[in-house]
C-alpha cells in the first residue's frame, strides 16, 4: 500500500504536518464535553496544531457490562453537533453497526471503524457509502500488510478517502 493524502476539513492526513486526534474516549455530560472542546481549541491555537475532535457515542467493546458505554446515537450526535457548531472542529466518532453510518455521517467528518471490527464487510461498506472519510483502526489480529483487505472493501464500495490508524 502506498501512502496518500486525504483531506478532511482543512487538515491533510498523510502529509508531513502533524495533527492530533483528541477528546474524551466516550461522550460524557455536555458541560464536560464543551469544556474539553474549549481547552482543546486553546491548545490547538497555542501550538498551531490542528485537532480532530474524537469522542464516541457508544463504546460497544467494553470489557464489562458494568462500565459506562456512552449516551447513545441520538444524544451523542446532538452533543457532537453542538461542539462542531461552537468550536468548528473536524469531528470523528466510532461506528459499530452498519445502521449507524448514515446518521453519524450527517454530523461527523470521519467515521472510525474500531480495530476489532475492521474486517466486518457490511460495516465497512455502509461507512464507505456515506462518502465520508473512513478511519480504519488496525486490528491487532491482522498483519500490517493485511490491512489491504478492509481498505479494499471501502474502495470497492466507491470510497477512496481512507486513513489508517495503528494502535
Three-state DSSP at 142 gives coil
pLDDT for the residue numbered 62: 67
User: Is 90 exceeded by the pLDDT of residue 121?
Assistant: yes
Q: Name the CATH superfamily for 13-165.
A: Aldolase class I (3.20.20.70)
Band the pLDDT of 2: cuts 50, 70, 90: low
Query: Contact at 8 Å (CB) between 124 and 156?
Result: no
Annotate 59-96 with b (16+ C-beta within 10 A) or e (fewer).
Answer: beeeeeeeeebbbebeebbebbeebbeebebbbbbbbb
Q: What is the pLDDT of residues 27-64, one digit of tens each?
A: 999 999 999 999 999 999 999 999 999 999 997 776 77
State the pTM of this model. Answer: 0.92
Most confident of 12-26, 57-71, 102-116: 102-116
Domain boundaries, the chain: 13-165
Say how far apart CA 159 and CA 141 lie, in whole Å. Answer: 24
Amino acid at each position: 500500500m502506498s501512502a496518500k493524502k486525504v483531506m478532511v476539513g482543512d487538515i491533510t492526513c498523510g502529509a508531513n504536518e502533524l495533527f492530533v486526534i483528541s477528546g474524551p474516549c466516550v461522550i460524557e455530560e455536555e458541560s464536560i464535553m464543551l469544556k474539553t472542546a474549549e481547552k482543546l481549541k486553546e491548545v490547538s491555537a497555542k501550538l498551531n496544531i490542528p485537532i480532530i475532535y474524537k469522542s464516541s457515542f457508544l463504546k460497544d467493546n467494553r470489557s464489562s457490562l458494568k462500565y459506562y458505554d456512552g449516551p447513545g446515537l441520538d444524544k451523542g450526535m446532538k452533543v457532537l453537533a453542538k461542539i462542531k457548531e461552537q468550536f468548528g472542529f473536524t469531528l470523528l466518532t466510532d461506528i459499530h453497526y452498519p445502521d449507524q453510518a448514515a446518521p453519524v455521517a450527517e454530523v461527523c467528518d470521519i467515521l472510525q471503524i474500531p480495530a476489532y471490527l475492521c474486517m466486518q464487510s457490511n460495516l465497512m461498506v455502509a461507512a464507505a457509502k456515506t462518502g465520508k472519510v473512513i478511519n480504519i483502526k488496525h486490528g491487532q489480529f491482522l498483519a500490517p500488510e493485511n490491512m489491504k483487505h478492509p481498505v479494499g472493501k471501502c474502495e470497492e464500495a466507491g470510497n477512496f478517502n481512507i486513513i489508517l490508524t495503528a494502535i
